[in-house]
Amino acid sequence: MAGRGMNLTLKIWRQAGPKAKGEFQTYKLGGVSPDMSFLEMLDVLNEQLIQHGEESVAFDHDCREGICGMCSLMINGQAHGPDKATTTCQLHMRRFRDGDTIVIEPWRATAFPVVRDLVVDRSAFDRIIGQGGFVSINTGNAQDANCLPVPKHNQEKAMEAAACIGCGACVAACKNASAMLFVSAKVSQLALLPQGEPEAARRVVKMVAQMDKEGFGGCTNTYECEAACPAEVPASNIARLNREYMKAVLLSDEMP
Amino acid sequence: MFRVAEQPLDGKVPSGDITQVWDKHKDNLKPISPNNKRKYEVIVVGTGLAGASAAASLAELGYSVKAFCFQDSPRRAHSIAAQGGINAAKNYPNDGDSVWRLFADTVKGGDWRAREGNVYRLAQMSANIIDQCVAQGVPFAREYGGLLSNRTFGGSLVSRTFYARGQTGQQLLLGAYSALMRQVGGGKVKMFPRREMLELIVVDGVARGIVCRDLTTGKIESYTAQAVVLATGGYGNVFYLSTNAKGCNVTAAWRCHRRGALFGNPCYTQIHPTCIPVSGDYQSKLTLMSESLRNDGRVWVPKNQSDTRSPDQIPDDERDYYLERRYPSYGNMVARDVASRAAKERCDAGFGVGSSKLAVYLDFKHAIERDGEAVIRAKYGNLFHMYEKITAENPYKVPMRIYPAVHYTMGGLWVDYNLQSSVPGLFVLGEANFSDHGANRLGASALMQGLADGYFVIPYTIADHFGKNASKLGKIGDDHPAVKEAVTAATQRINTLLNTHGTKSVDSFHRELGAIMWDKCGMARNDAGLRQAAGEIRQLRDRFWKEVRVLGSGELLNQNLEHAGRLADFLEFAELMVIDALHRAESCGGHFREEHATEDGEAKRDDNNFCYAAGWEFAGVGNEPVLHKEPLEFKNVPLQTRSYK
Instruction: Give the pLDDT of residue B83.
Output: 87
pLDDT interval class at B31 (50, 70, 90): confident
Answer whether B264 touches A (CB < 8 Å).
no
Kindly determine whether residue A163 and residue B170, on different chains, have CB atoms separated by under 8 Å: yes
Residue at A190 is within a domain: yes
Kindly determine whether residue A135 and residue B557, on different chains, have CB atoms separated by under 8 Å: no
Instruction: Give the pLDDT of residue A4.
Output: 61
Residue at A256 is within a domain: no
Within this chain, do residues A66 and A180 fall inside the same structural domain, yes or no?
no
Shortest CB distance from A149 goes to which of B60, B131, B146?
B146
Within this chain, do residues A84 and A190 fall inside the same structural domain, yes or no?
no
Q: How far B498 CA sits from the closest chain A CA (Å)?
A: 12
Kindly determine whether residue A155 and residue B141, on different chains, have CB atoms separated by under 8 Å: yes
Within this chain, do residues A112 and A163 fall inside the same structural domain, yes or no?
no
**Which pLDDT tens digit goes with each residue over B188-230?**
999 999 999 999 999 999 999 999 999 999 999 999 999 999 9
pLDDT interval class at B563 (50, 70, 90): very high
Domain count, chain A: 2
Other CB atoms closer than 10 Å to residue B477's CB: what's the count? 8
Shortest CB distance from B137 goes to which of A125, A166, A195?
A195
**Which pLDDT tens digit goes with each residue over B396-411?**
999 999 999 999 999 9
**Which pLDDT tens digit goes with each residue over B107-127?**
999 999 999 999 999 999 999
Domain stop point among A101, A116, A131:
A116
Within this chain, do residues A192 and A95 fall inside the same structural domain, yes or no?
no
Phi first, then psi: give them for residue B325, nearest 5 degrees: -70, -45
The candidate with the shortest Cα–Cα distance to A41, out of A62, A22, A27, is A27
Instruction: Give the pLDDT of residue B504.
Output: 97
Kindly determine whether residue B139 and residue A196, on different chains, have CB atoms separated by under 8 Å: no
Which of A64, A68, A152 should we substitute to test contact with B (largest number of B Cβ atoms within 10 Å)? A68
Kindly determine whether residue B386 and residue A133, on different chains, have CB atoms separated by under 8 Å: no
Within this chain, do residues A91 and A153 fall inside the same structural domain, yes or no?
no
- Domain hosting A207: range is 122-251
Q: How far B258 CA sits from the closest chain A CA (Å)?
A: 27
Question: pLDDT averaged over chain B?
Answer: 96
Domain stop point among A63, A81, A116:
A116
Whether the predicted pLDDT of A2 surpasses 90:
no
Q: From CA B467, how far away is CA B473, in angstroms rounded? A: 10
- pTM confidence score: 0.97
Burial B537-571 (b: 16+ CB within 10 A, else e): beebbeebeeebbbbbebebbbbbbbbbbbbbbbb
Q: How far B80 CA sits from the closest chain A CA (Å)?
A: 6
Contact between A145 and A82 (Cβ < 8 Å) = no
Domain B482-612 annotated CATH 3.40.1400.10: no
Residue at A33 is within a domain: yes
The DSSP bridge pattern shows strands B298-302 and A101-105 to be unpaired
Lowest-confidence segment of B148-157, B306-315, B368-377, B628-637 by average pLDDT: B148-157
**Which pLDDT tens digit goes with each residue over B471-488?**
999 999 999 999 999 999
Residue at A53 is within a domain: yes
**Which pLDDT tens digit goes with each residue over B319-350?**
999 999 999 999 999 988 899 999 999 999 99
Q: How far B587 CA sits from the closest chain A CA (Å)?
A: 31
| Chain B residues whose beta carbon lies within 8 Å of the beta carbon of residue A67 | 80-81, 167, 169-170
CATH number, position A199: 1.10.1060.10
Whether the predicted pLDDT of A3 surpasses 60:
no
Domain stop point among A57, A85, A116:
A116
The candidate with the shortest Cα–Cα distance to B291, out of B160, B444, B170, B437, is B444
List the single residue in B with minimal CA-CA distance to A70. B76
**Which pLDDT tens digit goes with each residue over A34-56?**
999 999 999 999 999 999 999 99
Whether the predicted pLDDT of A1 surpasses 60:
no
Phi first, then psi: give them for residue B288, nearest 5 degrees: -85, 145
Whether the predicted pLDDT of B587 surpasses 90:
yes
The ipTM of this complex is 0.97
Within this chain, do residues A42 and A139 fall inside the same structural domain, yes or no?
no
Within this chain, do residues A202 and A142 fall inside the same structural domain, yes or no?
yes
Instruction: Give the pLDDT of residue B645.
Output: 84
Within this chain, do residues A217 and A148 fall inside the same structural domain, yes or no?
yes
Whether the predicted pLDDT of B555 surpasses 70:
yes
| Chain A residues whose beta carbon lies within 8 Å of the beta carbon of residue B130 | 145
CA distances from B631 to B11, B110, B121, B591, B613 (A): 9, 16, 19, 18, 7
Shortest CB distance from B245 goes to which of A64, A151, A155?
A64
List the single residue in B with minimal CA-CA distance to A138. B60
CATH number, position A41: 3.10.20.30
Answer whether B455 touches A (CB < 8 Å).
yes
| Chain B residues whose beta carbon lies within 8 Å of the beta carbon of residue A155 | 139-142, 146
Other CB atoms closer than 10 Å to residue B617's CB: what's the count? 18
| Chain B residues whose beta carbon lies within 8 Å of the beta carbon of residue A90 | 386, 389-390
Whether the predicted pLDDT of B378 surpasses 90:
no
Q: Per the residue annotation, which of B336, B346, B441, B566 is the catalytic one?
A: B336
The pLDDT of A218-231, averaged and rounded, is 97
Q: State yes or no: is B336 an active-site residue.
A: yes
Contact between A161 and A190 (Cβ < 8 Å) = no
Which residues does A125 contact at the CB level (< 8 Å), separation at least 6? A166, A168, A179, A182, B73
CA distances from B17 to B13, B25, B28, B104 (A): 11, 12, 16, 15
Within this chain, do residues A108 and A165 fall inside the same structural domain, yes or no?
no
Which of B194, B219, B389 should we substitute to test contact with A (largest number of A Cβ atoms within 10 Å)? B389
Shortest CB distance from A166 goes to which of B73, B134, B281?
B73
Which of A36, A45, A67, A157 should we substitute to test contact with B (largest number of B Cβ atoms within 10 Å)? A67
Instruction: Give the pLDDT of residue B642.
Output: 86
Shortest CB distance from B551 goes to which of A17, A55, A142?
A55
Contact between B236 and B243 (Cβ < 8 Å) = yes
Within this chain, do residues A90 and A157 fall inside the same structural domain, yes or no?
no
Q: How far B81 CA sits from the closest chain A CA (Å)?
A: 6
What are the domain boundaries of chain B? 272-405, 482-612
CATH class of the domain at B272-405: alpha beta
Which residues does B267 contact at the CB level (< 8 Å), separation at least 6? B411, B521, B525, B577, B578, B580, B581, B584, B591
